[in-house]
Amino acid sequence: MSDADLAPSIGFDDFLKVDVRVGQIVKAEPFPEARKPAYKLTIDFGPAIGIKKSSAQITHHYTLDQLQDRKVAAVVNFPPRQIGPMKSEVLTLGFPDAEGEVVLVGVDRDLPLGGRLF
């Protein structure tokens, strides 16, 4: 899908079905088994949701050290997806740069973990 291709219009109730929360990366590891360069992320979403795993193709713009303790946004209500040997439990969100490489969606304030996007 190119930037010019817009998704079909949805109602606000459809938007509310997608549960996007803020979490904090507590561990970032190499993921050499992935087909495309990726990291394994362990993300804390606070006591109500807990700690979840995610595979993220973000190796172009981020080192493992840069990811530690970083706040990120993720969809937490998709079913888990098998990515190689790991089960990815959440979809960590990002936008493509001019070359199509992922830049993470983040927050610019210290927010409570698990806060929902609205």
DSSP code at position 55: E
Contact at 8 Å (CB) between 96 and 103?
yes
Contact at 8 Å (CB) between 57 and 38?
yes
pTM here is: 0.93
pLDDT bracket for residue 15 (50, 70, 90): very high
Dihedral sign, CA of 39, 65, 71, 43? positive
pLDDT bracket for residue 49 (50, 70, 90): very high
- Which percentage of the chain shows pLDDT scores above 90? 93
Specify the pLDDT at position 1: 54
5 pLDDT higher than 90: no
- 101/80 Cα distance (integer angstroms): 23
Backbone torsions φ then ψ of 11, nearest 5 degrees: -85, 165
